[in-house]
């Protein structure tokens, strides 16, 4: 929940060469692979663990970018999973499946489920069952598209629609923040964990989000448009 105490401030940490960055077990000096989990100890990239993203950062980007950020967030967190687990995964396709009706909810469930399993395997407390999170996301998306399907020049009606969209963003923010909180605890449980740098994707999402909000405000006030742009 967003009302909870803030997460501990995690500073930059240096990868300790005496420990496996995957399972945190003491490594043999001359070993090429970890005797505990089998991870490659020679070519491990410290950047593999720069995955920490504060809840505040994620929530702010969600309110700015809306569904655009949700797509980017699914891509980025799935890529983090792929790079970390070295499992066969397709981050771009995973994010784009959100445009495929019905199938998108299965992929969303898989997203929450895989991270939940990783967190539990690490011995950490996890978040709300994935199915509940997906049901809430489905409900918010239905209201979202219904609201955006209303085309009226009535400013008061459009203001109500904006209020509904903002409420939807709040609900989605609670879900994403809960996920990110526990994902951060997972990443922080490994030696070498550090903050994720602000990437080009976040900059693009911010720019597109600001432009979209400007267009929406203009549409609601009937300054330039009579239609209703998708937020």
User: 212 vs 32, which has greater pLDDT?
Assistant: 212
pLDDT, residue 204, reads 94
Phi/psi zone of residue 24: left (φ > 0), alpha (ψ -120 to 50 degrees), beta? left
What distances in angstroms separate CA 217 from CA 60, 158, 159, 224, 226, one per listed residue? 18, 10, 9, 10, 11
Residue of 129, 192, 199, 139 lying closest to 167 (CA atoms): 139
Tell me the angle at which helices 67-85 and 55-65 cross, rounded to the nearest 10 degrees. Answer: 140
Q: Identify the weakest region by mean pLDDT among 17-21, 85-89, 168-172.
A: 17-21
Q: Is the pTM of this model over 0.75?
A: no
Please state, rounded to an integer, the average pLDDT across all residues of the chain. Answer: 75
Residue of 97, 92, 99 lying closest to 107 (CA atoms): 97
pLDDT, residue 66, reads 83
User: 16 vs 189, which has greater pLDDT?
Assistant: 189
Q: Identify the weakest region by mean pLDDT among 67-81, 123-137, 173-187, 197-211.
A: 123-137
Cα angle value 190/192/194 (rounded, 5°): 100
Tens digits of residue pLDDT in 91-148? 999 999 988 888 988 898 899 999 998 888 888 887 777 887 788 777 777 776 676 6
């Amino acid at each position: 929940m967003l009302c909870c105490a803030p997460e501990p401030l995690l500073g930059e940490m240096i990868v300790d060469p005496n420990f496996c960055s995957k399972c945190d077990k003491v490594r043999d000096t001359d070993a090429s692979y970890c005797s505990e989990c089998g991870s490659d100890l020679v070519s491990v990239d410290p950047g593999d663990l720069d995955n920490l993203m504060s809840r505040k950062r994620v929530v702010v980007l969600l309110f700015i970018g809306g569904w655009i950020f949700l797509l980017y967030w699914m891509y980025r967190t799935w890529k983090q999973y792929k790079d970390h687990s070295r499992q066969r995964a397709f981050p771009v396709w995973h994010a784009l499946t959100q445009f495929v009706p019905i199938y998108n909810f299965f992929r969303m469930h898989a997203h929450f489920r895989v991270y939940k399993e990783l967190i539990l395997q690490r011995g950490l407390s996890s978040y709300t069952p994935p199915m509940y999170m997906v049901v809430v996301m489905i409900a918010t998306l239905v209201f979202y598209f219904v609201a955006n399907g209303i085309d009226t020049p009535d400013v008061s009606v459009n203001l109500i629609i904006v209020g509904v969209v903002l409420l939807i963003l709040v609900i989605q923010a609670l879900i994403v923040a809960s996920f990110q909180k526990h994902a951060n605890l997972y990443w922080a449980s490994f030696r070498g964990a550090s903050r994720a740098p602000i990437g080009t994707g976040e900059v693009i999402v911010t720019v597109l989000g600001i432009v979209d909000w400007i267009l929406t405000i203009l549409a609601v006030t009937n300054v330039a448009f009579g239609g209703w742009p998708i937020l």
